[in-house]
Structure 1
Amino acid sequence: MSTQVATSVPDDIAAPRCDPEADLAGRRRIIGIALMCGAVAFFASLDACGKTLARAGVDPLVTTFMRYAASVAMISLFINPVRTPGVVKSRRLPLQIARSLLLFASTALNFLALRYLQLAETISIQFAAPLTVALLAGPLLGEWSSRARLAAIGVGFLGVLVIVRPGVGGMHPAALLCVANVVVYAFYAIITRKLAAYDSTATTMFYTGLAGLALMAPLLPWIWTSPASLTHWALLFGVALFGTLGHWLLVMAHARAPANVLAPFIYTQLLWSVTLGFLLFGDVPSRWTVAGAMIVVGSGLYLLAQETIRREARPAA
């Protein structure tokens, strides 16, 4: 009887037509999301390697240098004056240099903070970077936020205060390094957006790590601390490898799915950080870290939702 009912359903209902383009776009989005989750897993692994090295006494500047030496070497294989003529020419060279130095400083601050703080603490505070970018975009880019967005930004910063707890006995001074990192990274992101109007993506990628390496190379003999074991060398290699693979997957993810689809999955890095922190260091996030992280992530997701609504409304307007 059930077979008879099934065969009596009209063909256009029983076997709906598939839209190949929509189906392909859906599969590409799923792949993009998977790549994004993989990218942030690599970034969390990078932080875990950096924390292990910092606790072992390896200078964070050495770790940062190795991180970007590998990155520059990898990028140069694909983006160089031979394969990409004119890539060295920048219409805003001072901004390119400033951007490179800011990214280098951001990474060094992160590794230094990781010596003292849990992985979950550092990444939770760093999630305030998009909020800071949204706040600075008004005076620096002319992209002013509405009152609702400003309120969400304010709530997000309250979440950071919950994690850091200034004036409370549980605050570690290294948390201020994370706060400084948020500000430094926000200016890096602002400059990146400014450069998009003047230089190609290839040119910006080419300069990403160069200025930091050029600054550090003369200082390296004075700050170099040779890793004490093969394990430490392997961890330095891991920092370089995980960073390079993470950015590679990030680029691949954005080639397959829109940024507004991928952005929420950036926050899965918190799950990886908590897991690695517990397995490798025995760290269990405090209730303050958990509560603050939820506030910061919630504010970030709200801003993302508002931006998505605003972009979708533009064609209709």
Structure 2
Amino acid sequence: MTGNDTRRGIMLMSLTMLIFASQDGISRYLADQYNVILVVMIRYWFFAAFVLTISARRAGSIRQAAATEQPVLQIFRGLLLAAEVCVMVLAFTLLGLIESMAIFAAYPLIVAALSGPLLGETVGRFRWLAIGVGLIGVLIILKPGFGVFSPYALIAVLSAAMFALYSLLTRYAARRDSAATSFFWTGIAGAVGMTVTGIWFWEPMTPTDYLWMLALCITGALGHYLLIKTYETAEASAVQPFAYLQLVFVSIIGMTVFGETLAVNVMIGAALVIAAGIFTALRERRLARA
């Protein structure tokens, strides 16, 4: 049941985004040392255990959590998210945390743009205006045609598009399956898919890096747990704008830990993307209440 404590929900969302930003930083470090698929595979093992625990508690049993009338859709969703995580971590290593997350922040706008043709939802002119502004922000970040465009940026764009599709499929699946069922298949299908793929890339880690891998798994599970608690505490539309704090925290980690720089074009473009995303979230909240 969703609560109505908006202030506590905002605090929880802010803490959640700090934990997810830490997870991104650890992911980048480990992916610099080892194969991306290996890192994501181990992360998914821990995530699957967490998913089994949460889904069984919410649905009553694992069998009830797994019950679905649309198994192909649910399995595809899980595999898609696992692939998206791999693509995003790869972007961290090739493009850096800051630019990757600045581009990825546009995914809610992609969801808004595609919710009409794919889900039959109404997209008004104000949402299209916000989508256009966000697109301009992404183009400012990418800087196409200025001689310094990095093709690695397209990997971050692909990641945002993949996560937007995953979000849309999750909305579609929710029409017939519970949140516990979708959560179950997200973790289990992803873990199975990553194991089948990642086991071929196995390599031993140093003792220190095993500790970092444990930290990555813990931050992943803790972040998802706090996100669930956030949505139980306050309305999603009220706390969603604060999800953009992840970009702020990631930027701090990128600059202080990895020596990245916050370019002016990234700052301006990210500001436009965030403003458009917040406007879209607030607009949806107002329409829902109306």
Q: Do Structure 1 and Structure 2 share a fold, with TM-score over 0.5?
A: yes
TM-score (norm 1): 0.86
- 2:168 is aligned with 1:190: yes
Structure-2 separation of matches of 1:196 and 1:85: 18
SS in 1 for 2:67: coil
- 2:278 is aligned with 1:301: yes
Mapped contact 2:51–2:187 kept (Cα < 8 A): no
Task: Indicate which of 1, 8, 20 corresponds to 1:31.
Answer: 8
Give the letter for the 2:138 counterpart: V
Q: Residues 30-79 of structure 1, C-alpha deviation per residue, up to 9 Å, x if partnerless?
A: 221111111111110011001111222x1111111112111101121243
Mapped contact 2:138–2:269 kept (Cα < 8 A): yes
Alignment of 1:15-26 (within 5 A): 25=4
Q: Residues 229-270 of structure 1, C-alpha deviation per residue, up to 9 Å, x if partnerless?
A: 222212221221111111110000110111111011111112
Structure-1 separation of matches of 2:7 and 2:285: 19
TM-score (norm 2): 0.94
Identity fraction in percent = 34
Residue in 1 aligned with 2:221? Answer: 244
Structure-2 separation of matches of 1:230 and 1:48: 19
Residue in 1 aligned with 2:37? Answer: 61
- 2:113 is aligned with 1:135: yes
1:303 shift after superposition: 0.9
Q: Tell me: CA distance 1:266–1:234, structure 2 relative to 1, closer, same or farther (3 Å).
A: same
Structure-2 separation of matches of 1:143 and 1:79: 29
Mapped contact 1:54–1:111 kept (Cα < 8 A): yes
1:84 shift after superposition: 4.7
Residue in 2 aligned with 1:70? Answer: 46
1:175 shift after superposition: 0.9
Residue in 1 aligned with 2:64? Answer: 86
Task: Indicate which of 188, 208, 217 corresponds to 1:231.
Answer: 208
Residue in 1 aligned with 2:262? Answer: 285
* Higher helix fraction (1 or 2): 2
Structure-2 separation of matches of 1:144 and 1:170: 38
Greater shift in the superposed pair: 235-244 or 34-43: 235-244
Give the CA RMSD over aligned residues: 1.7
Task: Indicate which of 139, 157, 160 corresponds to 2:138.
Answer: 160
Mapped contact 2:80–2:162 kept (Cα < 8 A): yes
Residue in 2 aligned with 1:310? Answer: 287
Alignment of 1:140-151 (within 5 A): 140-151=118-129
Mapped contact 1:71–1:243 kept (Cα < 8 A): yes
> Structure 1 regions of 5+ residues with no counterpart?
1-23
Give the letter for the 1:159 counterpart: G
Q: Residues 117-159 of structure 1, C-alpha deviation per residue, up to 9 Å, x if partnerless?
A: 2222111111110000001101111013112211210110111
Mapped contact 1:156–1:300 kept (Cα < 8 A): yes
> Structure 2 regions of 5+ residues with no counterpart?
none
Residue in 1 aligned with 2:79? Answer: 101
How many residues are aligned here? 286
Structure-1 separation of matches of 2:256 and 2:240: 27
Structure-1 separation of matches of 2:244 and 2:285: 17
Mapped contact 1:118–1:285 kept (Cα < 8 A): no
1:216 shift after superposition: 2.8
